[in-house]
Amino acid sequence: MPNDWATFGADLHLELRGPRLRAGLMDALREAVRSGRLEAGTRLPSSRSLAADLGMARNTVADAYAELVAEGWLTARQGSGTRVARRAAPRRAAPSSAAARPSTAGRPRPDAPAHNLKAGTPDLASFPRAEWLKAYRRALTAAPNEAFGYGDPRGRTELRTALAEYLARARGVHARPERIVICAGFVHGLMLLGEVLRDRGVRDVAVESYGLGLHADLLSRAGLGTPPLPFDGRGTRVEELTGESGETEGPGEPREYGGVGAVLMTAAHQFPLGGALPPDRRAAVVDWARGSGGFVLEDDYDGEFRYDRQRVGALQGLDPERVVYLGTASKSLAPGLRLAWMVVPEGLVGEVVAAKGAVDSSSSAPDQLAFAEFLGSGAYDRHVRAMRLRYRRRRDQLVAAVAAHSPRTRVSGIAAGLHAVLALPPGTEQDVLRAAAWHGLAVQGVNHFRRPAVEPTLDGLVVGYGTPPDSGWQGALQALCRVLP
């Protein structure tokens, strides 16, 4: 029999220092379960008790518990606390007769989520396989022999030329092929930029107070500080960079931001809270970059998907020499392609190319050629238009279902993108996440994306309505409605 209450201490193997406390706690708990030190059914301490024992914030422990419940490592049921999930025994060979199969009646609810509404992934079942295969065949047929050798670290010229035309037309980006660098995903591009900025003597890169922790972690690993910019009802407060907020640490230097040499932003559609950066703040952050010699790193992760009004053009169009534009095919096509691109100011191109290496060893040349063909043939535009209509229908169904089942729940961030934010009553986010896990629904809370240094001010769910396949969408929507207050 497992202990009714888990005992912690040196046995958890947790390093209680550093910026990744939540991730470290999650890793330690996973390893304790995997190694058998925490047996199935073991009841864990409450988040308050464990936080007190380990000397960390209660929200850090609660967030770690909720994420591990969503992943299937733990279970959380009202009245019985949080426990280590019971794992199924290894599957044996199937019996030859259907009559010999055991009945499923009375089995406990499975620990693995049945529905996935986590943000950040498109509907992978809708990848245009037939059109992509046609583009691949045409591209390979026409490819010169040298395309299969070591290539230009900037990427294939065919793709860079096609992207320059597309980005100017669709996103208002000022791009020339020689200033585009192809990379293996947004994260790869950010790693390269972190290295370049560090070598330039940049001390800090400001980040938005709500966003993907992975991005701030990557910059930290490059040796850069990542002070968070506050968030208000109009979006990210770029006034902090210029000192217009009124709080300073020295003559002309805003408090905490005096060493900032760049800022990472999702200006067209803030992730995850939604909304576009207002025009006055767009102008202000570009003016800051001009005046200080800094750079804006623009993450345009889902710029193609805007529904209710004219598209919001890329920030890069305001000043191509102070804004590094980063785009990706991960949301419009599929993250498995590992295709992304940077449009780099002229003064940074050489340094970015040098950081990438003497040869293009990270981006597949045949995939680049296929994507260039896919863009040039119009297949990409057709696919984006079709997916825009599909995602908009899902968004409208989400809004209607929430209004019917939980009229007091406010839905925001829905003018663009593949996710929405559902506001929750203060202090209820973790309870709703536990209920979601119990109903087999994987979804993330707003505070999962909050920077550790930022005080919690919002409770809510970040619902990725683009993630499920069509066959699973209605079931996921019903599971969501069941857990809303």
Give the CATH class of 129-377.
alpha beta
Residue 99: predicted pLDDT = 37
110-126+382-483: CATH architecture = Alpha-Beta Complex (3.90)
Residue 334: predicted pLDDT = 95
Splitting the chain (485 residues) into consecutive groups of 10 residues, what average pLDDT does each group show? 42 58 83 80 86 82 84 80 70 39 40 86 95 96 92 94 95 94 95 95 95 93 94 90 58 63 95 92 94 95 84 89 96 95 96 85 88 96 95 96 94 93 94 93 95 85 94 93 93
Asked: is 10-84 a CATH 1.10.10.10 domain? The reply is: yes
Sequence-distant (6+) residues with CB within 8 A of 405 are 481, 484
Residue 16: predicted pLDDT = 55
Residue 56: predicted pLDDT = 82
Domain boundaries, the chain: 10-84, 110-126+382-483, 129-377
Q: From CA 346, how far away is CA 348, in angstroms rounded?
A: 5
Tokens of 85: 């999930």
